[in-house]
Amino acid sequence: MSTVSVITGPRRGWRSAGTWIGAAIVGVATVCAIFAPLIVPHDPFTQDLSKRLLPPFWMAGTNPDHLLGTDQLGRDYLSRLIWGCRISMLIGITVTIVSGLIGITLGVLGGFLGGRVDDAVLFAITTRLSIPVVLVALAVVGLLGSSMALLVLTLGLLLWDRFAVVARSTTMQVRNLDFVAAAWCAGCSRARILLGEVLPNIASHLVVVATLEIALAILLEAALSFLGLGVPPPLPSWGLMIAEAKDYMFFSPWVIVIPGVALFVLVLGINLLGDGLRDLFGARSDP
Amino acid sequence: MSALLEVEQLEVSFGRTGAVRGAALTVERGETHCLVGESGCGKSVTALAVMNLLARGARRSARRLAFEGQDLTRLSDQGMAHLRGNAMAMIFQEPMTSLNPAYTVGSQMTEVLRRHKKASQRAATDRAADLLARVGITAPGLRLGQFPHQLSGGLRQRVMIAMALMCDPKLLIADEPTTALDVTVQAQILRLLASLQRDLGLGMLLITHDLGIVARVAHRVSVMYAGEVVESAPTTELFANPRHPYTQGLLRCVPVPGRIKRDQPLGSIPGTVPRIEPGFQGCAFRERCDFADATCAKTIPRHAATADHDFLCRLPA
Amino acid sequence: MGAARFSRAPRFRTKLAPAMLQFFARRLIVAILVAATVMVLAFALTRLSGDLAISIAGPNATQADVEIVRKAYGLDKPLSVQFFDWVGRAATGDLGDSYFFKKRVADLIAERMPVTFTLGLTGLVIALVVSLPLGILAAVRENTSLDRGVQLVALIGQAMPSFWLGLLLMITLGLQLGWLPISGTGSWQHYVMPGIVLAFSAIPALTRLTRAGMIQALGSDYIRTARAKGLSRAAILLKHALRNAAIPVVAIAAVQLGFMLGGSIVIEQVFALHGVGFLAWESIGKNDFPVVQAVVLVLAVIYVALTMLADLMNAVLDPRLRGP
């Protein structure tokens, strides 16, 4: 067959506007997260009941001192938003480190060793997928009391499945490539081959999974905090901000719109960046 | 009466690459016309262009592209769909993947007749069973209820042929129908095609790169090179008196019993088909041709050797 | 002759080949093992917090009260005895009694399950009604602005916090436009908003899968054959391409329904839908551990059953899986 299909492809990788928008959002969020104590205009925990529920700058009756207004306890909304970004990013990244360590270890071992080990890893993945994440996370936090460390550990123990699936399948592909066979023949040890040959070659796939997992962890933390079993108050998690403002939302919708938009934009940005990286690496992220 | 299929000055391009450049050919009623040439020379694209089955992104134009005198370039998509599978049918190179894995052989065969002839399911099933028997499939009733993955490659190609014949087409285009099959099966399929063509009086455009096939079944041969038909003649005339250096080269590559000696090496044509950029002029074969000189880079005239033998070369003899 | 035999032959033989039966037997064993593992985990989960008797007895209870509770609920027995007691009774369908609701857990779950299932199915139907046309459109118009628009919709769906979307819908569709009831379970309208929110979580995956499957199908040789047969555009797209593209979509849809049932806890809470998720949320707040462990187990078993159903549907849809 001599049929040639020449269709100009879509813009991908760094040539895509989406990647740049994603990178910009993640960049701003990172700066906010790291320098939150320095850039917040007010203390995010100081209450001032004389200034309750001030509207943001685009509405009538705004106070120029509080650009995004104040919450039901008179705390500065912009400051709480920036502080909340710090919490979201912190949780997203730490949860991904925990889940990545678990998932990558399991996946690489299963994919590399095969046989019984692989059967066990597959069984672990199947079992993990059958467990309802939100329910179990709620139960753990509900029974043990809410703290950041517990939340991170719980989510980390629950979100490793995609890491395991992708690490396992990519390891299987790499294992059968010529340079790994060459390393075997050169007498390299198993550990040397795993760390020196396999891991570097599946790293790009795992980076893409990591972006997706950071986004997922941030969304889950917000949902758990919204249900009151995530980040403990008075920490300004975005999910908690929405939960606390819920009773006022019919009269002052912006109290839930502002943290919700922040959450949506951050997660969208991380996903856009992840998609860009995937196209850049030519990696796959779907199980 | 006009010929069954007339193609003049056919051009197909993908982006900036010209895949077919001014090809011309004519298929008469009841005639087997072979289109030969090495891979990538535009044979399949020519066939797909005739059927209007080119991939999206391809551009097609022609001075004349007519089926039974009807201008195909002016036909709507719907009008073309009405001809396809009906008066003109096509079979492909890849029998393993050309049938839909999700439907039975029977359902895929009957839908053609039901669409074009508004036949009942009953009548269409009967016709399908008859045709399966006609293409040499035993137990056609059983086969109709089977799925493609339950059949071998040779059987699937027979199903494809039977399916193409459902509506009694006048023209059958066969794009390298035996390439993907085992050698023994190749001969069977080819014999089948030749006998069907003779018995049903089909006009057949058979695309192949196998000159052995050509010698056995073709009435007329057109040789394609880099998107052009460089020589066209009745089969015996072409084999006896090839005029284009490329045709001569092709024929030297084929072992013919009686004509070659035991210890003499077979011929070969050095090099590959060049990539044709826009603005290309002259003979595309000149880089590989023993007789090429500076005039080959100019526009090449078409010469007629006899009334029905013409070729595209600056050398008249 | 042959034609008559064909017309009597059934169109789709659903008889499974021995290889398939073996495959499903294996799947069943794995499913039972998964359920057993989940039982261990769910049991361990509820014992994490230390002395359950103290939390059940409440903050004002005396030491004597706690001891009474401990005895009454069998918490004085060794953990292994408690565990096998639970497993043994769960195997017969007895999931224990709720401390807070003073009812059999199995009855509680059976009472609440219809709400969660209705919600999950509503979400799945909405998700499919949105995803299938979007995915097909994007594939047919691959690499056009329409395609990029559809992919943007998928990205937006992926980034949307479900509880927040729920609140936004309550403000707009519920309060400002007054189209739909804000919370509760009185009528079918009550399920529309939560259904939309739940659907959002499945739309990205289903749309992408439909698009990818359709692109692959449309580029295949059998679609070229269908075009060469002169079939109508609708028949080519919907009969020949979609049928093959739908095989993975149907499987994932079943799995997504499992995720939706597990994830509906947030949405049930937002919309005050008294389903299983709401029950679990209440029980967590009350330390009602027999209910919590039972809901975890039931949702896990439903998920495993749905994945097996997905495999079965794959076998029905894809003749190649049914063996020669």
d(CA C273, CA A270): 32
**Contact predicate B85/C229, CB 8 Å:** yes
Task: Give the pLDDT of residue C240.
Answer: 92
Give the closest residue to A217 by CA, choosing from A232, A234, A237.
Answer: A237
With beta carbons less than 8 A apart as the criterion, state whether B196 and B165 touch.
Answer: yes
Q: For residue C221, list chain B residues with Cβ-Cβ distance below 8 A.
A: 92, 94, 97-98
Sign of CA dihedral C139, C143, C146, C152: positive
C163/A223 Cβ within 8 A: yes
Amino acid making up residue C56: I
Q: Which of A5-14, B32-41, C305-314 has the lowest mean pLDDT?
A: A5-14
- Closest residue in C to B112 (Cα) is C229
Residues B186-198: b if buried by 16+ CB within 10 A, e if exposed: bebbbebbbebbe
**Partners of B225 in the beta sheet?**
B228
Segment A57-73 shows an average pLDDT of: 75
Task: State the Cα–Cα distance between residues A93 and C39, nearest whole angstrom.
Answer: 31
Instruction: Report how far apart, in Å, the C-alpha atoms of A178 and of each of A107, A174, A184, A242, B236 are.
Output: 21, 9, 10, 54, 52
pLDDT at A8 over 60: no
Chain-chain contact of C232 with B122 (C-beta, under 8 angstroms): no
Residue of C nearest to A126 (CA): C34
H or E element that contains B175: strand B171-175
Measured between CB atoms, which of A1, A5, A6 is closest to B44? Answer: A1
Chains that touch C (3 or more CB pairs under 8 A): A, B
Contact call for C11 and B107, based on CB within 8 A? yes
Cβ of residue B163 closer than 8 Å to a chain C Cβ: yes
pLDDT at A152: 93
The most confident of the ranges A53-57, A185-189, C211-215 is: C211-215
Residues, chain C: 324
Q: Do B44 and A6 make contact, defined as CB atoms within 8 angstroms? A: no
- Pick from C60, C275, C30: nearest CA to A122: C30
Rounded to 5 degrees, what angle do the CA atoms B207, B213, B215 make?
110
Count the neighbouring beta carbons within 10 Å of the beta carbon of residue B26: 19
**Given an 8 Å threshold on Cβ–Cβ distance, is B102 in contact with C235?**
no
Q: How confident is the model at residue C4 (pLDDT cuts 50, 70, 90)?
A: very low
Asked if B222 and B36 touch (Cβ cutoff 8 Å), the reply is yes
Place of tokens 């057949």: B204
- pLDDT average, residue stretch B180-194: 86
* Facing residue for B94 by CB, picked from C221, C227, C318: C221
Note whether B246 and B225 are within 8 A (CB): yes
* Domain-embedded: residue C62: no
What does the pLDDT average to over B152-165? 90
pLDDT at C66: 79
Question: What's residue C59's pLDDT?
Answer: 67
CA distance A270 to chain C (A): 9
C313/chain B closest Cα distance in angstroms: 13
**Residue C57: is its pLDDT beyond 90?**
no
As given in the structure block, the two tokens for residue B38 are 């090495």
Contact residues on chain B for A2, CB-CB shorter than 8 A: 19, 39-45
Averaged pLDDT for residues A191-214:
86
Sorting pLDDT into bands at 50, 70 and 90, what band is B262?
low
**Higher model confidence: residue C275 or residue A283?**
C275
Which residues 6+ apart lie within 8 Å of B280 measured at CB?
B18
Hey, what domains does chain B have and what are their CATH numbers?
5-87+167-312 (3.40.50.300)
Give the contacts of C151 (CB within 8 A, at least 6 positions apart).
C138, C208, C211
Residues 235-264 of B with CB under 8 A from C: none
Q: Please give the Cα distance from C277 to C298 (Å, whole number).
A: 11
- Domain extents in chain A: 5-41+88-286
CA torsion sign, B176 to B182 to B184 to B188? Answer: negative
Tell me if C7 is assigned to some domain: no
- Give the residue on A whose Cα is nearest the Cα of B40: A2
Task: Report the pLDDT value the prediction gives residue C5, as an integer from 0 to 100.
Answer: 42
- How many Cα atoms within 13 Å fall on the side-chain side of residue C207? 27
Q: Say yes or no: C30 contacts chain A, CB-CB below 8 A.
A: yes
Q: Checking DSSP bridges between strand B220-225 and strand B203-207, what pairing results, if any?
A: unpaired
Alpha carbon distance A274, A270 (integer Å): 6
Looking at beta carbons, which residues of chain C come within 8 Å of A275? Answer: 155
Which of the 8 DSSP states describes residue B149? G
What is the DSSP secondary structure assignment for residue C174, as one 8-state letter? Answer: I
> Both tokens of residue C228?
């060469």
With tokens 């813009």, the residue in question is A11
Partners for B (CB, 8 Å, 3+ pairs)?
A, C
Q: Count of domains in chain C? A: 1
Chain A neighbours (≥3 Cβ pairs under 8 A) are B, C
Chain C residues touching A271 at Cβ < 8 A = 155, 158-159
Distances (CA, A) of B312 to B221, B222, B223, B232, C284: 14, 11, 10, 9, 87
Residue C183's pLDDT band (cuts 50, 70, 90): confident
Is C83 a member of any domain?
no
- For A192, the token pair is 């040397």
Confidence of residue B48 (pLDDT cuts 50, 70, 90): very high
For A214-227, what is each residue's pLDDT tens digit? 999 999 999 999 98
- pLDDT tops 50 at residue A5: no
Question: ipTM greater than 0.95, yes or no?
Answer: no
Helix (H) or strand (E) holding C157: helix C145-159
- pLDDT score, position C143: 82
Residue A166, token pair as written in the block: 């992708």
Give the separation between CA C193 and CA A23, rounded to whole angstroms.
Answer: 33
Inside any domain, residue C39: yes
pLDDT on residue A282: 67
Residue in chain B closest to C315 (alpha carbons) equals B102
**Cis before B278? omega within 30:** no
CA distance A126 to B123: 51
The per-residue pLDDT for range A268-287, each reduced to its tens digit, is 999 999 888 888 876 544 44
pTM (2 d.p.): 0.83
Q: Tell me whether residues B125 and C228 touch, CB distance under 8 A.
A: no
- Is the predicted pLDDT of residue B250 greater than 90, yes or no? no
φ, ψ for residue B138, nearest 5 deg:
-80, 155
Range of the domain at C135: 20-49+95-322
List CB contacts (< 8 A) between C319 and chain B.
101-102, 147, 149
Q: Which of A186-200, A236-250, B256-270 has the lowest mean pLDDT?
A: B256-270
Q: Which helix (H) or strand (E) holds A115?
A: helix A115-130
C271 touching A (Cβ < 8 Å): no
B59, containing H or E segment: strand B58-61
Question: pLDDT tens-digit profile of B212-240?
Answer: 888 888 999 999 988 888 899 999 888 88
Q: Which DSSP string do the residues of C181-245 spell out, in sequence order?
A: -SS-SSSGGGGHHHHHHHHHHHHHHHHHHHHHHHHHHHTSHHHHHHHHTT--HHIIIIIIIHHHH
pLDDT of residue C213 exceeding 60, the answer is: yes
Give start and end residues of each alpha helix (H) in chain B: 43-51, 77-83, 105-117, 121-134, 140-144, 153-164, 183-200, 211-217, 235-240, 245-252
Confidence at residue C1, expressed as pLDDT on a 0 to 100 scale: 40
Per CB-CB distance under 8 Å, the chain C contacts of A222 are 161, 163-164
Radius of gyration of chain B, Cα coordinates, nearest whole angstrom: 20
pLDDT at C15: 52
Residue B17 pLDDT level (bands cut at 50, 70, 90):
confident
Q: Which residues in B have their CB inside 8 Å of a CB on A?
A: 14-15, 17, 19, 39-45, 48, 54-58, 93-94, 175-176
Confidence of residue C123 (pLDDT cuts 50, 70, 90): very high
User: Looking at residue B259, what is its pLDDT?
Assistant: 62
Average pLDDT, chain C: 83
A9 interaction partners in chain B (CB closer than 8 Å): none
According to DSSP, the β-strands at B228-234 and B220-225 are antiparallel
DSSP state of A68: T
The confidence score (pLDDT) of residue C285 equals 82
Query: Which pLDDT score, from 0 to 100, does residue A10 have?
Result: 47
- pLDDT score for C3: 43
Between residues 4 and 43 of chain A, which touch chain B (CB distance below 8 Å)?
Answer: 4-8
Q: What is the mean pLDDT of residues C39-62?
A: 75
**Residue B289: Cβ within 10 Å count:** 20
* Spatial separation of the C-alpha atoms in residues B179 and B192, rounded to whole Å: 15
C-alpha separations of B91 from A265, B31, B112, C216, C226 in Å:
52, 17, 14, 21, 11
* C55 belongs to a structural domain: no
Written as one letter, the residue type at B200 is: L
Per-residue model confidence (pLDDT) at position B261? 65
Read off the amino acid at residue C2: G
Which of A260-269, C169-178, C249-258 has the highest mean predicted lDDT (pLDDT)? Answer: A260-269
Report the pLDDT value the prediction gives residue C10, as an integer from 0 to 100: 41
What are φ and ψ of residue B230, in 5° steps? Answer: -90, -20
Mean pLDDT of all residues belonging to chain B: 86
CA distance B204 to A50: 92
CATH at C215 = 1.10.3720.10
Q: Are C42 and C293 in contact (CB under 8 A)?
A: yes
Q: The domain A5-41+88-286: what is its CATH number?
A: 1.10.3720.10
The pLDDT of residue A7: 36
Residues with Cβ within 8 Å of C238's Cβ and at least 6 positions away in sequence, in order, are: none
Residue linked to tokens 């939706």: C260
pLDDT (tens digit per residue) in A84-112: 899 999 999 999 999 999 999 999 999 98
Percent of chain A surpassing pLDDT 70: 93
Rounded to whole angstroms, the Cα distance separating B154 from B158 reads 6
Q: Which of A182, A207, A180, A194 is nearest to A110 (CA)?
A: A194
- Mean pLDDT on C155-180: 85
pLDDT band at A123 (very low <50, low <70, confident <90, very high): very high
Please tell me the predicted confidence (pLDDT) of residue B256. Answer: 66
Say if C76 falls within a structural domain.
no
Kindly report which listed range (A100-104, C46-50, C234-238, C281-285) carries the lowest average pLDDT score: C46-50
Contact of B133 with chain C, judged by CB distance below 8 Å, is answered with yes
**pLDDT category of residue C49 using cuts at 50, 70 and 90:** low
